[in-house]
Amino acid sequence: MNCRQTGIGLIATMVVLSVALTGCGGGGTSGTAPTVSVNVQNAQWVAFQDGANGNWTTLAPSSGFSGAVPSSASDGRYSLAFVCGGTKPTVYVVHATRQELPQASFTCAGAAPSSITVSGTVSGLSGGQALVSIGETATATTGTYDVNISPGTYDALAVRIAGSVPNRVWLQRNRQFANNTTYNINFDQPDGTIVRVFDVSSGTLTVSGLDTLANETATVRILFQSGNRVSVVGVGSALNEATPTAYPRFPSGILGAAEQFRVVVDTSEQRGVVQVAASLPDSLTITLPPPYVNPTLSVNSAGAIQFSASDFSYGASPVVGYQLTASAPSGARFEYFLTPGWLGNASSYATPVLETVSGWQAAWNLTRGESAEVGLRVYVSPSGATPQTVWSYLQGNPLPAGATLRYATRRQTLTP
């Protein structure tokens, strides 16, 4: 088996952590002892910890790793750490249980993909304008447009807008763009099988719960989600409940079985909501989750730099994951993902010391005396999403139909 893997141009897509797989790069075990199957692609270093307090073991001192790793802790807890290279390396640490995260996957991004330009004219606007989207790259125009994208297959989508109200959509699914391309859009074109052109009604999205005293604002995106392909059908900025965002409402018979709409609201205070639905209503109100005010973030003053968080309590439930991030001008960026089962009843958490583990490079260390931006984000899901769902979404994968994630962030600047 060839153990070398290639990236797919994303910062992250999913690794496989399951209960009994074997693979190249690390042998399995005999008998019925549980294992975790680790498959981290394109990494510079990979390490594993069995249990919550066991010794860290280097799985790959200078590369990715694929193989079955013994996981004998009776409570199922384990930790996985790996480093993705780049101009600013990123250290990822996953704290989970086998029960909560039976599958986790990660592919470190390779070299930046090449870029091509898609440009053209938009006609049939009837005095209005259009929002043109190829993938998640969108631009507004009254006649001509150009967007820069990576070569690939996309859903090309344009929404005609008159007086801020969407009224017509142009859609070509599975359009491949391999080189610089001229791609013209005509809203007067008849509806067909390859290119769908159809009238739409309009709906509005309102964001509720913004902290106007903190001048909190929200960015709103409404996305058309077709499998792993995503296009933009609506964008807006919300200052308060009096600034709604308009979106098109597709008529029946347009969407395929694997197509949904994803609504994303993210605020300047790093609160937000992501939800996926099969259709969009006449009006939609997104109520923001409460602020995350209880945690205390701190950093030690001597020895290896460790960030700590205490009091994880939050005014919404159920919690399905936590994400702690730390970044400074020098050294690597650090991202820690914690599942509720791994954290258990603990009221505090300290980041692990990795610099003593074999293969760790000093260039990844943060520097004492240099300020770091630290944030602790909590994820809750009223729809029943799991830690596995959160981990998958953080790698750039779409949420399943009906899923909702709500999150809030406690932020602080700390100087080790």
Indicate the pTM of the whole model. Answer: 0.89
- Let me know: does 141 contact 54? Beta carbons within 8 Å: no
**Rounded CA gap, 297 and 336, in Å?**
14
Partnered with residue 40 across adjacent β-strands are: 65, 106
CA distance 405 to 323: 13
Q: Dihedrals φ, ψ of 141, to 5°?
A: -150, 155
**Which residue has tokens 């769902």?**
389
Higher pLDDT, 70 or 5: 70
* Cα–Cα distance, 90 to 331 (Å, whole number): 9
* pLDDT tens string 191-225: 999 999 999 999 999 999 999 999 999 999 999 99
Residue 72 has φ and ψ, to the nearest 5°, of -100, -5
- 279-297 pLDDT per residue, tens: 999 999 999 999 999 999 9
Average pLDDT of the residues of the chain: 91
Q: What's residue 104's pLDDT?
A: 65
Rg (CA), the chain: 23
**Predicted confidence (pLDDT) at residue 2 exceeds the cutoff of 50:** no
How far, in Å, CA of 309 to CA of 34, rounded?
A: 31
Distance CA 309, CA 348 (A): 5
Q: Is 394 helix (H, G, I), strand (E, B) or coil?
A: helix
For the segment 41-55, the average pLDDT, to the nearest whole number, is: 96
Residue 40: other Cβ atoms inside 10 A: 29
Mean pLDDT of 104-125: 91
- Mean pLDDT across 114-121: 97
Banded model confidence at residue 23, pLDDT cuts 50, 70, 90: very low
Domains of the chain: 1-113+290-397 (no CATH), 116-201 (2.60.40)
> pLDDT tens for residues 57-69?
999 999 999 988 8
Q: How far apart are CA 308 and CA 327, in angstroms?
A: 14
On whether the CB atoms of residues 125 and 142 are closer than 8 A, the answer is yes
**pLDDT tens track for 172-193:** 999 999 999 999 999 999 999 9
Sheet with 307-310, strands from edge to edge, namely 296-299, 307-310, 348-350
Asked whether residue 8 carries a pLDDT value surpassing 70, the answer given is no
CA distance 193 to 70: 52
User: By three-state DSSP, how is residue 392 classified?
Assistant: helix
3-state class (DSSP) for residue 212: helix
Give the model's pLDDT for residue 37: 83
Residue that has been written with the tokens 């109520």 in this structure: 287
Q: How far apart are CA 260 and CA 111, in angstroms?
A: 31
Residue 375's nearest CA partner among 332, 321, 414 is 414
C-alpha 13/C-alpha 370 separation (Å) is 31
pLDDT value at residue 3: 37
Distance CA 322, CA 137 (A): 29
Q: Nearest CA to 208 among 238, 236, 234, 245?
A: 238
Euclidean distance between CA atoms 402 and 202, whole angstroms: 22
DSSP secondary structure of 298-367: EE-SSSS--EEEE----SSS-EEEEEEEEE-SSS-EEEEEE-HHHHTT-SEEE----TTSTT--GGGS--
CA distance 19 to 387: 16
The confidence score (pLDDT) of residue 111 equals 78
Residue 358 has pLDDT above 50, yes or no: yes
Q: Is 214 helix (H, G, I), strand (E, B) or coil?
A: helix
